[in-house]
Structure 1
Amino acid sequence: MTFEIIIVLLALIGMLAALIMDKMRPGMILFSVVVLFLCTGILSPKEMLEGFSNKGMITVALLFLVSEGIRQSGALTQLIKKLLPQERTSVFKAQVRILPSIAFISAFLNNTPVVVIFAPIIKRWANYVKLPATYFLIPLSYVTILGGICTLIGTSTNLVVHSMMIDAGLRGFSMFELGKVGIFVAIAGILYLFLFSKRLLPADRPDKATDDEENVDNGLHPVEAVIGPRFPGINKRISDFDFERHYGAKIKELRRSGRTYTSFGDISFREGDTLIVMADDSFIKTWGESSVFIMLANGKEYEPAGKKKRWFALTLLFIMIAGATIGELPAVQEMLPPGIKLDMFFFVSVTTVIMAWTKIFPPQKYTKYISWDILITISCAFAISKAMENSGVADLLAGYIIDLSHSHGPYILLAAIFIITNIFTELITNNAAAALSFPLALSLSQQLEVDPMPFFVIICMAASASFSTPIGYQTNLIVQGIGNYKFTDFVRIGLPLNIITFLISVFLIPQIWPF
């Protein structure tokens, strides 16, 4: 075992431990590892920086802005209001009406704004029709994940794997290629939620602060605030952080993992905590577009944008998707002059600029709508993947896996890649999980002399299948707080969904993309 292999293995173990222990933001942890590889000569400066100029990473950044434009247009708010039944109904009938539509939407938009918009509206609607909101919020998060695996742009993970394939000199995914298996996973997952969510999810857990009429006075009212990655009090004790001075609001409750705290003692803030604060009307106006909080909701309706703005934003989205899909056709590519490629990067760039100049989102604040930590994580993930290849770690681990599953064929290896990636995505982040698994999958296919495409597709399925824990996916964290779910609620309903995704993926992928 060479010096480079030892360094990379130790660094990867340390990285996983730091991510699981949540010592820093994932982007900084991965960047620290990349700098170590630079210092030891495993990566050159050029290889370290390639991820920061990668087309896939920049596409993800621009898709954040497109999703924000759709959010600010009010199109999603109006849509969910039309989908929700306004009369008394059953849980099953309501889910049949809303879950497939949300899955479809999330196939083309970033999951987080979809959940941020829909979660408080669905919770308010559930209270109105006297149904437990807990029967809808985890399914909301899950169907956005299920919809996201069906298209190239449905989740950043798909774009990461797509870009790594192109960097390796291989053909990437087309817009709807992953839908060949993703649609079956999504349909099975949605049917599972229809049949079992009411049995496996808890009934409503009442909100103490929002039910306390004595708190609603002096023009103050309760606001739910989900702590985001840039909240300055993360890992600080509540008693040591003057929340009222910083934000002009007073904390009444903190919700975490299904527990509600009203006496804070030595409790520290964590990302994903849901705070119930007493605030006036200026609180959401001031902090609504800040990344300090992922979501703010006060149970009030807001005036939607004009109808023309909504339809214009949706038209731009449709042209972007249709244009990128048609632009991939060989006949279209042959007609284009050299140097022009009508791919997703081209159309998302044009769409973003049009949205900025027509002020569908405020162009002066565009940097606020981009999740920079996700972009840094993706960029560093490319470098870590390259270090695994350069050092020989990928070949070494691939050899061990082949030896363990000797004589069982590629199907067992496909299952092994799914399990490894899925464990990583539940414990760390989906993009980092895909980055760690990609060089392993590439080396496996090369040593077995088989087509690598089935391995890459299963990485996309496994990295997105984050159902069993609230920490693997940001949308799970959001609904955990607003629904006051426990960690075990995700395990109970999410683990069978992981297994369903595993079985369908391992069976179908080799049928569609033969080895």
Structure 2
Amino acid sequence: MAILSILIVVAIFVLLQLRRNLATDQLFLAGLLVLTIANVITPAEAFEGLSNPAVLTIAGLLVVTAGLRSAGVLDWLGNKLLGSARTQTQALIRLTLVITVASAFLLNTAVVAMMMPVAIDWCRRRNISPSRLLIPISYLAMLGGVCTLIGTSTTLVVNGELTRIHQQQLDAAAIAPRATSPETNDSIAQVEPMSLFELGQIGSICAIIGVVYIIFIAPRLLPDRHEPGESLGKQRREYMVEMKVEQTCPYVGQTVQQAGLRNLPGLFLVEINRAGHVITPVAPSDVIEQHDRLVFSGVVSTIVDLEKVTGLVPSADVSFEHHPERRLSEVVLSRTCPLIGTTVKAASFRQRYNAAVVAVHRSGERLAGKIGDIELAHGDTLLLQTRSDFVSTYRNSRDFYLVSDVEGATPRRHEKIKIASLLLLTLITWLITASIYTSPSSSYSWTSPAVAAIVIAVLMVLTGCLRNTDARAAIDLQLLLTIAAALGIGRALIKSGAAEMVANGLTSAVGTSPLLLLITVYILASVMTEMISNNAVAAMLLPLAIAIPHSIGFDARPFIMAITLAASLAFVTPVGYQTNLMVMGPGGYHPRDYLRCGLPLSLLMAVTAITSIAVTYSVGP
């Protein structure tokens, strides 16, 4: 059975390298089913991972971070920090502050998802390629994630298994002095769950050194590529749009140059309307004031970006902007539309369609003047502020040839920023308090990260920070199934004796030097993580991290830390970590870009982590 367990792991590894189109969760589930049918583990043991605290914690945190994204918490913070940044280095330093701190308490995939649009928008405004910032964002999120227990799903997976094994050992000790279970007998070392900041003792050192590398060395290795669709900008529809500057807008008091509104790709500031006085052409030194109306000419994607700036709202109908269900939609006026020949102001879109006209495009023409004074014609394309049901309501209307939502125009619910921020602070406080009053006798007590994450996730929905449908969509089933199946395979490695067999094989090959074995385990985990799921690697190699030191009579803790860090810091390939894949498309990266920038960082982290672990836990030769 031990040989079968090892063969299953090897088969999964090989297939993932040869067939990149295979679904990771399906492959791991297939391997788990083979082990179950072969009676290596029972069905209850195989699917116990679905109720593992780590899986539940990750599910809860995915919902929490979706709520923070919907409320625009990190968008707001990122815009505040990047608003006045003028150079790439300044932007990188400011992003470092936000991302490393945020990813220490939120799943790093969610942090990257929230910060990518902020960085891309800043790059567009400064005419800088996003490829100069997106890989650093991914790397910073990984580095911040290893500073606490909840910063990365990998750490949660490891701690979930430690909690389960520790609980079984406590139960066995209470029943009999010596238990016969393969997971509680002398072949498995005594282990305890991690505290909130235990990994951070090593991880924070890695993070500090990694940040120095990213700020001072990585820019020399990063490519300078523009977004894939940027060259198509001139072929896309241009709109004229008028935006009102409210008190909360970060541009108030800044010059046009400082606000980054000069030389915008796909967007041009035509004029500033200030209390009836029109400023045109707009000079870089002109200062933006509250209540100004800024008239832009641009493509729809750049107008969507403008909509995401706090306090910058379409002036067509300011009151409409603040509704949480608002959307941007495009319509093409048909010949039978009763609005043909009337001005936008006289058309009364609010009364007729519960919508507001944001901008108008007419083929071959750049329409100047106030939006309200434009006379509508057959074939005009209108950009509208609408409610969520607009498209379904008017899809078959004779008034329009075409009705569609604008991609990426789902608004941030800025009115919920304070509530979402308070819930985040509550979660952090809860976890810190729980780490002080840890209750090891129950992994589902109030001290459990799973309980904290799920409670805050529910409150995100109940307080309106996140809709029910968005909460369900935020839960990544493929990720959760992969982790659950990998946990089952990891359990099979222990129960079948495969972990002990591999441990004995490594000690025979490498020797009994704790330091050499620590280096071997770290390198093995690091290489595997660059090729398959980091969570799966952590789940499958954790049994080895416990069995190897136990076979030589050494403490398992440094080996557990090595596995956790190696599986959490994957910089060399785009498939090594989810955040690397997330930035690949928007940054226009190739695999060689990760190799060139990530390999030196990976080697630096290996030396830093192994040295720090060896010093902290007194691992000698």
Aligned to 1:326: 433
Is the contact between residue 174 and residue 325 of structure 1 (CA under 8 Å) also seen in structure 2? no
For 2:407 and 2:444, locate their aligned partners in 1 and report how far apart those are by CA, in whole Å: 50
Q: Would the aligned equivalents of 2:510 and 2:516 in 1 still touch at CA under 8 Å?
A: yes
Shift of 1:303: 5.4
Alpha-carbon deviation of 1:163? 1.2
Q: Are 2:32 and 2:46, in contact at CA under 8 Å, matched by a contact in 1?
A: yes
| Residue identity opposite 1:168 in structure 2 | I
TM-score normalized by structure 2?
0.67
> Quick one: structure 1 residues 130 and 343, their matched pair in 2 at CA, closer, same or farther if it must change by over 3 Å?
same
- The answer for the alignment partner of 1:59 in structure 2 is 57
Q: Indicate the residue corresponding to 2:464 in structure 1.
A: 359
Correspondence for 2:450: 345
| Distance in 1 (alpha carbons) for counterparts of 2:584 and 2:73 | 25
Match in the other structure for 1:379 = 484
CA distance in 1, matches of 2:530, 2:443: 43
Q: Which residue of 1 aligns with 2:401?
A: none
From the two aligned structures, give the one with the greater helix fraction.
1
* Distance change >3 Å, CA 333–CA 464, structure 1 → 2: closer
Q: Are the structure 2 counterparts of residues 284 and 446 from structure 1 closer, same or farther at C-alpha, using a change threshold of 3 Å?
A: farther
Give the secondary structure class of the aligned counterpart of 1:112. Answer: helix
Residues 163, 443 of structure 2: 8 Å contact kept? no
Q: Is the 8 A contact 1:124 1:299 kept in 2?
A: no
Q: Does 1:311 align with 2:423?
A: no
What does residue 229 of structure 1 align with?
none
Residues 164-175 of structure 1 mapped to structure 2, 5 A cutoff: 164-169=161-166, 170-175=191-196
CA contact (8 A) 2:227 2:587 kept: no
Matched, 1:19 2:128: no
Q: Tell me the distance in 1 between the aligned counterparts of 2:197 and 2:432.
A: 8
1:400 aligns with 505
CA 1:30/1:492 → structure 2, altered by over 3 Å: closer, same or farther? same
Q: 1:463 to 1:310 in 2, by over 3 A?
A: same
Counterpart of 1:434 in structure 2 is 538
Deviation at 1:15, TM superposition (A): 0.8
Aligned counterpart for 1:35 among listed residues 15, 33, 36: 33
Gaps of 5+ in 1: 224-247, 249-278, 287-295
Flag structure 2 segments of 5+ consecutive residues without an equivalent. Answer: 167-190, 241-298, 303-329, 331-381, 390-404
Tell me the amino acid that sits aligned with residue 316 of structure 1: L
Q: Is the 8 A contact 2:162 2:193 kept in 1?
A: yes
- Return closer, same or farther for 1:280/1:196 CA change in 2, 3 Å cut-off: farther
Matched letter for residue 156 of structure 1 = S
Calculate percent identity across the aligned residue pairs: 29
Matches within 5 A, 1:140-159: 140-159=137-156
Change beyond 3 A, Cα 1:281–1:398: farther
Alignment match, 1:91: 88
Identify the residue that residue 262 of structure 1 maps to in structure 2.
none
Find out whether 1:501 has 2:501 as its counterpart: no
SS at match of 1:182: helix
Paired AA for residue 305 in structure 1: H
- Asked if the contact 2:487/2:540 (under 8 Å) is kept, the reply is no
**Secondary structure of 2:56's match?**
helix
Contact 1:51 1:382 survives alignment (8 Å): yes
C-alpha deviation, 1:285, in angstroms: 7.4
The Cα shift of 1:337 comes to 12
Structure 2 residue 66 is matched with structure 1 residue 68 = yes
Q: Given that residues 441 and 455 in structure 1 are in contact (C-alpha distance below 8 angstroms), is that contact kept between their aligned partners in structure 2?
A: yes
Q: Does 1:370 pair with 2:475?
A: yes
- After superposition, the Cα gap between the structure-2 partners of 1:300 and 1:123, relative to the gap in structure 1 and judged at 3 Å, is farther
Cross-structure match for 2:514: 410
Q: 1:70 to 1:399 in 2, by over 3 A?
A: same
Q: Match for 2:12: what amino acid?
A: M
Aligned residues: 448
Alpha-carbon RMSD across the aligned residues, in angstroms, is 3.2
Counterpart amino acid of residue 237 in structure 2: V
Paired amino acid for 1:322: T
Q: Contact 1:100–1:143 (CA<8 Å) still a contact in 2?
A: no
1:418 to partner: Cα distance: 0.9
Structure 1 pair 8–73 and aligned structure 2 pair: CA distance change class (3 A): same
C-alpha change, 1:483 and 1:285, in structure 2 (3 Å) is: farther
